[in-house]
């Protein structure tokens, strides 16, 4: 049987340690191809590049692994990979390992997760994986272990149609992790506190800044899992329809 | 009673005709404040600006309406508006009127809809409104009529917690529209066909291009409504959990 074809991307850029760790952990599962941004793309959400052309360049970064850097967003990388790089549809897409958590509402802002969502839209089994540690030299050994474990299960079982996985790990080493929980996205949000400054020309500017507020007390959420030492796995979808609200709106008598 | 406070934004930029039409249609419903991008931001998805500072500048574009242009993305505009511009939480956020449809999977890529999603995350009743006409001089009279109708209903009834509305109109004049349907997001997608070119320095570059493919045969989708002359209203949510898949994943015995 042909070995699985695995597309790897991220949003921290192709030189980030997290993607190197992911490549290492996936190499034993199949043929790996990397198409990742040539610069950091955190917080890019599901941006795509329509008004500028994209560059795609072959690079030798990962030992024995075909790799390309792309001038676009994470979603662009997946689109270009599928249309121009891969010789056939990949069996699996893994995005990460992200330096920082993409749990709860962060799934919306995350370039890591948008790459995985783009894969799922393309019909590819897709996983986004992140560690709750923003340090450049974060310890990825636990994430490598769980990436391999989860990818193996996904290759064996497939994923339900229209779903992908959002995997988040607590900061720390493998021996400290208590296990893995299937979770829902916590109802948490950022409260903005823009930092207002004045430039040397006496014009104001603003830095985005904020506090993360989690008022969701459920013990079945991704935030609960991470805070309590578990790996969270949230099945995630790109059908944004609030199906439960259709009946309500139908009573409005437009 | 205090009149409703209405925040207006878009992704085509503050000088686009669509936002001018929206301001006109909302002025009779309450006090309007505009915070919109200073340049086109289509396809920005839910991007936020973390690595650059943002500019925010008061402008006189709309007759008698307080307005600001912002150097950031549509999501940035909403965050800045809520934190730095509005004196109290707005009662309603309306994003648009977008030049081009944001039905089906386009909700994922759309800056218009990400602004509305950001509003909903902030707990504001939010509507994104788009017309299936990419022309700069598209006819917005029908969209203005429906924006006012739908905004009035939302101000009266509120929206179910965690939901917002994705409103899309067919191209054409008001008299041709057959009515309004509450819909679900069609299961449609773009198939990429990047246009590969060579620059004067003999280096390749790629333009994103593609075909929209709708294999969803349901007559309850947004695509069906628009194709058949109806306004589609899709209740939309930012909880991306695929709740139905949690039980399946729990059988995987991690």
Domain CATH number, residue A107: 3.40.1210.10
Is residue A202 one of the residues assigned to a domain?
Answer: no
Minimal CA separation from A188 to chain B, in Å: 9
**In the prediction, which pLDDT does B1 show?**
65
Percent of chain B with pLDDT over 70: 100
Residue A53 burial (CB count, 10 A): 17
User: B207 touching A, CB under 8 A?
Assistant: yes
Chain B from 101 to 160: CB within 8 A of any A CB: 105, 107-109, 114, 117, 121-122, 149-150, 153, 157, 159-160
Whole-angstrom distance, CA of residue B94 vs CA of residue A154? 40
Is residue B202 one of the residues assigned to a domain?
Answer: no
Which of A40, A54, A108, A112 to mutate against chain B (most B CBs within 10 Å)? A108
Percent of chain B with pLDDT over 90: 91
pTM of the model: 0.95
User: B50 touching A, CB under 8 A?
Assistant: yes
Complex confidence, ipTM: 0.94
Divide the 254 residues of chain A into consecutive groups of 10 and give the mean pLDDT of each group: 93 96 97 96 86 95 96 96 94 97 96 97 97 92 98 97 97 96 97 93 94 96 98 98 97 91
Total domains, chain B: 1
**In the prediction, which pLDDT does B12 show?**
94
Is residue A96 one of the residues assigned to a domain?
Answer: yes
Minimal CA separation from B215 to chain A, in Å: 13
Whole-angstrom distance, CA of residue A165 vs CA of residue B235? 24
* Tokens describing residue A212: 């993360």
User: B200 touching A, CB under 8 A?
Assistant: no
Is residue A166 one of the residues assigned to a domain?
Answer: yes
**In the prediction, which pLDDT does A14 show?**
97
Cβ <8 Å between B242 and A252: no
**In the prediction, which pLDDT does B254 show?**
86
Residues near A146 by Cβ (< 8 Å), separated by ≥ 6? A129, A167, A169, A177, A180, A231
**In the prediction, which pLDDT does B44 show?**
82
Cβ <8 Å between A184 and B246: yes
Whole-angstrom distance, CA of residue A66 vs CA of residue B241? 33
Where in the sequence is the domain holding B17, given as residue range(s)?
5-187+217-250
User: A254 touching B, CB under 8 A?
Assistant: yes
Mean pLDDT of all residues in B56-62: 96
Mean pLDDT of all residues in B191-206: 94
Residue A204 burial (CB count, 10 A): 14
Residues in chain B: 254
Return the axis-axis angle of helices A141-157 and A17-26, rounded to nearest 10°: 50
Segment B83-126, tens digit of pLDDT: 999 989 999 999 999 999 999 999 999 999 999 999 999 999 99
Q: CA separation (Å) from B91 to B154, B159, B161?
A: 10, 11, 14
Is residue A212 one of the residues assigned to a domain?
Answer: no
Is residue A207 one of the residues assigned to a domain?
Answer: no
**In the prediction, which pLDDT does A254 show?**
86
**In the prediction, which pLDDT does B43 show?**
81
Is residue B193 one of the residues assigned to a domain?
Answer: no
Return the axis-axis angle of helices B141-157 and B17-26, rounded to nearest 10°: 50
Secondary structure of residue A192 in the 3-state scheme: strand
**In the prediction, which pLDDT does A1 show?**
65
Bridge partners of B30?
Answer: none
Is residue A60 one of the residues assigned to a domain?
Answer: yes
């Amino acid at each position: 049987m042909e070995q699985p074809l695995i597309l790897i991307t991220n949003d921290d850029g192709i030189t980030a340690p997290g993607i190197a760790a992911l490549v290492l952990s996936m190499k034993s599962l199949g043929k790996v191809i990397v198409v990742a941004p040539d610069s950091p793309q955190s917080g890019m959400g599901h941006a795509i590049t329509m008004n500028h052309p994209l560059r795609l360049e072959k690079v030798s970064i990962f030992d024995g692994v075909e790799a390309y850097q792309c001038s676009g967003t994470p979603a662009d990388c997946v689109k270009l990979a599928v249309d121009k790089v891969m010789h056939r549809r990949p069996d699996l897409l893994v995005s990460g390992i992200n330096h920082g958590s993409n749990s709860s509402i962060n799934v919306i802002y995350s370039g890591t997760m948008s790459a995985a969502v783009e894969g799922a839209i393309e019909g590819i089994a897709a996983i986004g994986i992140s560690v709750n540690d923003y340090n450049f030299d974060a310890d990825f050994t636990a994430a490598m272990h769980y990436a391999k474990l989860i990818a193996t299960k996904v290759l064996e079982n497939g994923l339900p149609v229209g779903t992908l996985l959002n995997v988040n790990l607590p900061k720390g080493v493998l021996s400290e992790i208590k296990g893995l929980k299937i979770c829902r996205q916590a109802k948490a949000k950022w409260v903005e506190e823009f930092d207002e400054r004045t430039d040397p020309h006496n014009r104001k500017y603003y830095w985005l800044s904020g506090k993360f507020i989690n008022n969701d007390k459920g013990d079945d959420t991704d935030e609960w899992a991470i805070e309590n030492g578990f790996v969270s796995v949230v099945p995630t979808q790109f059908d944004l329809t609030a199906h439960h609200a259709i009946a309500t709106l139908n009573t409005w008598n437009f």
